[in-house]
Structure 1
Amino acid sequence: MYFDGQFPGNLQDLQHLYLHHISDQSITPVNDTKHFMVGAYKEHRLEGSSVRIISIFRRDSVQPLYCVFYCGTHWANGMKAEVQMHSDHFGFRFVTTDVLCPNVPDCNPSHVTLATQADTKLAQNQSFLRIQNLVKREEEKFQFNFTVCWSNLFGDYNNVLQVTQTLEMYKLLGVQHVVVYNTSSGSDLDRLLQSYTQDGFVEVVPWPIGKYMNPSRGWQPSEHGGDIHYYGQLTTLNDCVYRQMYQSRYVLLNDIDEIIAPYQHQTLPQMMDVLQRQNPKAEVFLIENHIFPKSQFEPSGRFELPRWRNVPGINIMAHIYREEPDYRISHPSKMIVRPRAVEQTSVHSV
């Protein structure tokens, strides 16, 4: 209870026990730094580490940082954070970073923030992140069997027909959940995603990275400019893996214009059952990329349906010819992973 915005009577002395600022944003600035927090996750796998904070760091501005925990009934003293900048930054100014916070005695933390000083009182007015993955679920209790992580819609992306066909294809293949990080999409696609979100099939994570830096549309700063690779693609992929770590048995990491599809089985569950039996210790499965050029069309026109004529976007059903891969050059792959085995991921490898 508050009175004129203040704690009444003897409760004023207890004001310091309560959180004042809990961030509900996907990107949260770290006070007095050039860095940003994205998501905080309980770390059940590493001895000595309590929480992992997926972050974005300015590479030329690293400084000592401290993890400040809210323990439900009290604050824990700031503990020195371990900063792990990912190796894949492609020369951009900002890089995906893991911040590991050590275990704190007598604290079962619910929220955490990063601070430039260990003084807990100075950090209490900063924005805190809710710690996710507090419960380590066993696989039989996961909500999903297969989740797709799509990173970074941007540039008012409005390819409605292709996105619809892809989502429906994934339903047929046995996917139960698709996570989309969205910087900007067209109005038609917004309505489509809202419909799938209401059905529970799609989860949209707002990703307003342009508010904090100049994101690049490419992967080479010399050619594409900007502060961070592909609108922070690596950050969103890593965050998605941790979001789904105790929610989904498998996570598919691929772009929105790609479909990971089996060719010897009808569904992904059938394919993975066979692959997992053949490779019982495997945790990461690499899926070879194949390109179906937009310039080549199915000649009969049988997929040019009248009801699709006015829907914006590409009709992937009309492009059935596969380009022969050139194995003399780099041939990328995408991945299906068991997220409990992943600490850091890049686009094509972990």
Structure 2
Amino acid sequence: MVNTNIKLFILLLLFVILTFVLIQEFIRYAFRFTLPVIPISSEGKNVHFRNNSITSIKHSAHFAVSAFNDHRINKAIRVISIIRRDSLQPLYCIYCIDDHDCQTSEAEVQIHSDHFGFPYGASDVLCNGGHTQNATHVAISTSANISEIHSEDLLPINNEVTRESFNFSFTVCISNLFGDYNNVLQFVQTMEMYKLLGVQHVVIYNTSCGPDLEKLLQHYKREGILEIVPWPIDTFLNPSKGWNFSEHGGDLHYYGQLVTLNECIYRNMYQSKYVLLNDIDEIIMPYKHVNLSFMMDDLQLQHKNVGVFLIENHIFPKTQFEESHRFSRPEWRNISGINIMEHIYREPDRKYVFNPRKMIINPRSVVQTSVHSTLQYHGDVYYVPFNVCRIVHVRTPLQGSLTKQQLHVDTRVWDFEAELISNVDKTLQDSDLM
């Protein structure tokens, strides 16, 4: 009798265990789903998802921008996002392999610490779960119900494969073009200068630009050096034209500059050895070396653990002209914009005033960035000395009361004059601008 009771107990226990396992499997597969609304090509391989640069997260005030596998954190999915800071709510990741095998997990929202008081902030939405490393697409949702997700909600996941060798040594990230920007001459001079310095890839986020600059952008796109990312932020939000919320107002800092800088880092993480983060009117200029490659080889040899190199900004007032007018070329007089070769006078550094820096980074060392410094990173940070590298920034003066005699003469740009002038002329001609 005792043996019979033991046998019955063992059978009952096995039945309970089997039932539990079956329930677990049912729950697991309940969260795997095929999305029938996604159109598939005849070969069944190429799924046509929307690839917009900004996607509204339904039933929320938030937006998703782009998605990347982050190989540094077990290939979790990192979605660069724009989150309204006062409207946080639970979010879910729906990640899929093409049009099938979709799973869900709770999302972790990380709003970047630099938001300058604006209602919206650059953010990361992290997706952790089983098989994220195999997913090809992801959606951020306010619901864990996979059936509510449609093809237009899904973002392609990039950074699928790490590379031992990079497509580019140097990529420049230009955060934003807006306000029908049409400074053609300075732009073409800057692009050609970067090419002489060893840059092979430039990424620009374009909200709006003037017609002449559009011709120039299309020329560089055809040439293969320029990647243009449409950035229609003004159709989704009221972006600020400045960085100070109390002064400039708006929903989001400076046309989403912080979002695009972070997006550009992840976009180029396994494409480019180094990424330069700076504005369209700035040139990160080596002074001790002939080009960026020699400079970075030297700096990295001396500072092996450094992944973030901070470069001093120096102002060259556009109101002060070189007196001989040797570069006031008649061929350029009808080209809109600033001729940087005429502006060789540099404002003195003010030791009592903060001098904002820009950066050359190893993108694989950076997790989050602001404009003038990184927010989260691995490794060390190095302040590059003034005599090694500094930014040539031709713009309106910050010390407008200074006379020409109180400024420093800095003719570094002239070291490239023969090739620079020839290349600028050819580009303007090829763009039908001269």
Where on the TM-score scale, by shorter chain, does this alignment land: which range?
Answer: over 0.9
1:218 equivalent in alignment to 2:281: no
Q: Which amino acid aligns with 1:159?
A: N
1:39 aligned residue: 66
Please list, as runs of the form range in 1=range in 2, the aligned pairs for 1:277-316 lying within 5 A after superposition. 277-316=301-340
Q: Which amino acid aligns with 1:163?
A: F
1:118 to 103, 123, 144: 144
Q: Cα distance 1:232–1:324, how it changes in 2: closer, same or farther (>3 A)?
A: same
2-side partners of 1:130 and 1:156: how far apart? 30
1:62 to 73, 88, 96: 88
More helix by share: 2
2:345 aligned residue: 321
Render the CA deviation track for 1:259-292: whole Å, top value 9, x for unaligned: 0000001100010011011101111100011110
Q: Which amino acid aligns with 1:195?
A: H
Identical pairs, percent: 57
3-state SS of the aligned residue for 1:75? strand
2:270 to 246, 251, 255: 246
2-side partners of 1:257 and 1:120: how far apart? 46
Q: Which has the larger radius of gyration?
A: 2
Q: Alpha-carbon deviation of 1:329? A: 1.4
3-state SS of the aligned residue for 1:260? strand
2-side partners of 1:182 and 1:96: how far apart? 18
2:38 aligned residue: 19
1-side partners of 2:352 and 2:133: how far apart? 55
Q: Which amino acid aligns with 1:128?
A: L
Q: Which runs of 5+ in 2 are unaligned?
A: 1-32, 40-47, 375-434
1:75 aligned residue: 101
1:8 aligned residue: none
More strand by share: 2
Please list, as runs of the form range in 1=range in 2, the aligned pairs for 1:99-110 lying within 5 A after superposition. 99-105=125-131, 108-110=134-136
Residues 35 and 99, structure 2, Cα contact 8 Å, conserved in 1: no
Q: Cα distance 1:313–1:123, how it changes in 2: closer, same or farther (>3 A)?
A: same
Q: Alpha-carbon deviation of 1:18? A: 6.2
1:336 aligned residue: 360
Q: Which amino acid aligns with 1:127?
A: D
Report the aligned-residue RMSD: 1.5
Task: State the TM-score, normalized to the length of structure 1.
Answer: 0.92
2-side partners of 1:105 and 1:270: how far apart? 41
Residues 58 and 95, structure 1, Cα contact 8 Å, conserved in 2: yes
1-side partners of 2:133 and 2:157: how far apart? 13
Q: Cα distance 1:24–1:35, how it changes in 2: closer, same or farther (>3 A)?
A: same
Q: Alpha-carbon deviation of 1:180? A: 0.5
Residues 34 and 101, structure 2, Cα contact 8 Å, conserved in 1: no
Q: Alpha-carbon deviation of 1:19? A: 3.0
1:87 equivalent in alignment to 2:106: no
Render the CA deviation track for 1:61-106: whole Å, top value 9, x for unaligned: 1110000011236333320000000011111111000000003248
3-state SS of the aligned residue for 1:259? strand
Residues 50 and 104, structure 1, Cα contact 8 Å, conserved in 2: no
1:228 equivalent in alignment to 2:252: yes
Q: Which amino acid aligns with 2:240?
A: S
Q: Cα distance 1:174–1:106, how it changes in 2: closer, same or farther (>3 A)?
A: closer
Q: Alpha-carbon deviation of 1:127? A: 1.4
3-state SS of the aligned residue for 1:175? coil
Residues 31 and 126, structure 1, Cα contact 8 Å, conserved in 2: no
Residues 49 and 151, structure 2, Cα contact 8 Å, conserved in 1: no
Q: Alpha-carbon deviation of 1:17? A: 5.1
2:208 aligned residue: 184
Task: State the TM-score, normalized to the length of structure 2.
Answer: 0.75
Q: Alpha-carbon deviation of 1:344? A: 0.3
Q: Which amino acid aligns with 2:324?
A: S
